[in-house]
Structure 1
Amino acid sequence: MLRNFKLAAKLNLLLIAIFLTTIIAIGLLLSFLLERNAERIVTEKALLLIETMGSVRHYTSTQVNPELASRLETESQFLPQTVPGYSAREVFEELRKRPEYSDFFYKEATLNPTNLRDKADTFETDVVTTFQQESSLKEKIGFRSLPSGDIFYIARPLAVTKESCLRCHSTPSAAPKSQLATYGDQYGFGWKLNEIVGAQMISVPASKVFEDARSLQWTAIGIVTFFLVVALVVLNLFLKWTVTNPLQAMAQLARQISMGDMSGEFPQASHDEIGILAASLNRMKVSLQMAMEMLNPDASQDTTS
């Protein structure tokens, strides 16, 4: 089938095939690179935030709690500011009041919390259970689908590492009176030393980042497509002016010569391969004309006379 096509059509088919292959290859490569970059962006954001919350927890544990711990027995209501997890959550909630962070979430998801706002949901329970079953696992990352869109999360295990933590979480009888007055004696007890009781979780919205990456991908593909189309048109015109048009003219002259019309001349406008071909055809025409004169001298004499 291709043998019946003209040279210009064959060249165009080849160029279109190269064009489409290039676009597909660039699209796949861009998709891979931009997705990796989007993952890196959300991971960096999540890591920065979870490290910051870890610093808040450490500050509360070492600076705030020692100053307020003695008041837990005398106050009528529990002082949640002494709890590292509470401080981290409150700091993060202040951050979320800024529009650009409104879809970010921080939670110290706990299986048996004192404050029920820290109660782990089904997904978070699975994460905590994984940490309990794999004690060597120090971090878990991944994506989670929510009605609002996909989010990227980082989770780290929360374990009871200090005896002082058991003051509020071992048995109700050992707990401060203010804690029992505020939260009751039903939740947050029975913890054991070195037991993993929850997971520190930070969630970063990923949908917007990936949407931006896809938008950038299509923009880049559009720009590349535009320049490839321009290159295709320019190359087509170049081939038409330098190859196909001269070949068509030579074919027409060759047809005339084959019918006995020797008046034409193959134009040699360049010294490239097409020019060399034109010169060769001119020499062939002269040789053919001489051969015909030798075969028919009478006709040659009549022409001279």
Structure 2
Amino acid sequence: MLNNLKIGTKFNLLLLLVFIISIAVSGVILSSVLQQRAQREVSSQALLLMKTMNSVRTYTQERINPLLAPQLETATAFIPETVPAFSATEVFENFRQTEGNENFLYKEATLNPTNLRDKADDFEIQLVEQFRKDPKLPQLVGLRSLPEGEVFYIARPLAITKESCLRCHSTPELAPKSQLTTYGQKNGFGWKLNEIVAAQIISVPSKEIFNHARSSLSLIMGLLIAIFAVVLLLINFLIKKTVIQRIKKIEKIAQKVSTGDMSADFDETAKDEIGGLAAAFNRMKSSLKIAMDMLNQQGY
């Protein structure tokens, strides 16, 4: 079938094939790059919030807790502000009250928490168990579907690294009375030093960012298709102008010569391959004319 096609058609098919392959390869590469960029953007937001919450935890542990801890034995109700996890959670809740941040989430998902609002769900339990199986694992990241929509999460292990933390979480007998009065004796005990008890999880809404990446991909691909289409038309025009039309001109002259019209010349001044072909045809025409003149002189 290809042998029956004209050169112009063959060139167009070849260019179209190159066009399709180029667009497909470009689309795959761009999609990967934009997805990675979107994930880095979401991850950077999550890490920034994680560092902020850790700063709140550190401040509470080193500055607030020493000030309020002596009051725990005499207070009628437990003072939750002495707990780093409580302070971090409350600060993050204030952050979520600002416009545009409603779908950001923070949780110190704990297997056996004192405050049941920190109780890990099934998904979070799996994260904690993974950290327990591999204590050297620094963090886990991924996507998770929540009622708020799809979110990107980053989770890091939380372990008991200070003896002072065991005062409230080893046994009920050692815990402050105000803690027992507020939270009871059933939850938040039995923790051990250096044991991973929770996963610190920041969840960042990713739908908008990934949608933006997909929109950018569509825009860039549209521009690429338009550019490729213009290039395709330009190449097609140049091929017709510099190759096809010149070959057709030589073909028409060759047809005249083949019918005995020796007055037609292969007029081609260019020094390229087509010009060389025209010069060869002119020499062939001259040789043919000489041969025909000799035959006419001999009476053939």
1:173 Cα deviation from its structure 2 partner: 2.9
2:38 paired with 1:38: yes
CA offset at residue 148 of structure 1? 4.0
* SS, match of residue 61 in structure 1: helix
Calculate the TM-score normalised by the size of structure 2.
0.93
1:225-273 deviation digits (Å, cap 9, x = unpaired): 1111111101111111111111112112211211112232223253322
Give 1:6-85 correspondences, 5 Å limit: 6-85=6-85
> Counterpart of 1:113 in 2: which secondary structure?
coil
Hey, what's the Cα distance between the residues in 1 that align with 2:231 and 2:141?
A: 45
**Paired residue for 1:303?**
none
What residue is the counterpart of 1:155 in the other structure?
A: 155
Counterpart code for 1:82: T
Of stretches 3-12 and 254-263 in structure 1, the one that deviates more from structure 2 is: 254-263
SS in 2 for 1:57: helix
**Residue pairs, 1:139-218, within 5 angstroms:** 139-218=139-218
Give, in whole Å, the separation in 1 of the partners of 2:149 and 2:285: 76
Deviation at 1:140, TM superposition (A): 2.0
Distance 1:278 1:6 in 2: 20
Q: Which moved more, 1:69-78 or 1:7-16?
A: 69-78
Unmatched 5+ stretches in structure 2:
none
- Residue 117 of structure 1 aligns with which residue? 117
Do the aligned partners of 2:103 and 2:204 also contact (CA within 8 Å) in 1?
Answer: yes
Counterpart-to-counterpart distance in 2, 1:170 and 1:19: 69
Report the 3-state secondary structure (helix = DSSP H, G, I; strand = E; otherwise coil) of the residue aligned with 1:101.
coil
Secondary structure (helix, strand or coil) at the match of 1:99 reads coil
Sort the Cα spacing of 1:148 and 1:263 in 2 relative to 1 into closer, same or farther, 3 A.
farther
Structure-1 residue corresponding to 2:290:
290
Q: Deviations over 1:92-111 (max 9, x none)?
A: 11222233322211100011
Partners of 2:103 and 2:148 within 8 A in 1: no
The 1-side partners of 2:97 and 2:285 are apart by 89
Q: Deviations over 1:268-296 (max 9, x none)?
A: 25332222322332232222222211111
SS at structure 1 position matched to 2:48: helix
Equivalents in 2 of 1:76, 1:54: separation in Å? Answer: 29
Following superposition, which runs of at least 4 residues in structure 1 exceed 4 angstroms of deviation? Answer: none
Give the letter aligned to residue 27 of structure 2.
Answer: G
Residue 91 of structure 1 deviates from its aligned partner by 1.2
- The answer to whether the aligner puts 1:272 opposite 2:272 as a matched pair is yes
Over the matched positions of the two proteins, sequence identity in percent amounts to 53
For 2:139, the aligned partner's letter is E
Hey, what does 2:246 align to over in structure 1?
Answer: 246
SS at match of 1:25: helix
The whole-number CA distance in structure 2 between the counterparts of 1:147 and 1:94 is: 20
Q: Tell me, in whole angstroms, the C-alpha distance in 2 between the residues paired with 1:269 and 1:13.
A: 30
- 2:111 touches 2:120 (CA, 8 Å); kept in 1? yes
Q: Distance in 2 between matches of 1:283 and 1:137?
A: 82
Cα distance, 1:66 vs. partner? 0.4
Q: Return 5+ residue gaps in structure 1 as ranges.
A: 300-305
Task: Give, in angstroms, the shift of residue 85 of structure 1.
Answer: 0.4
CA RMSD of aligned residues (A): 1.9
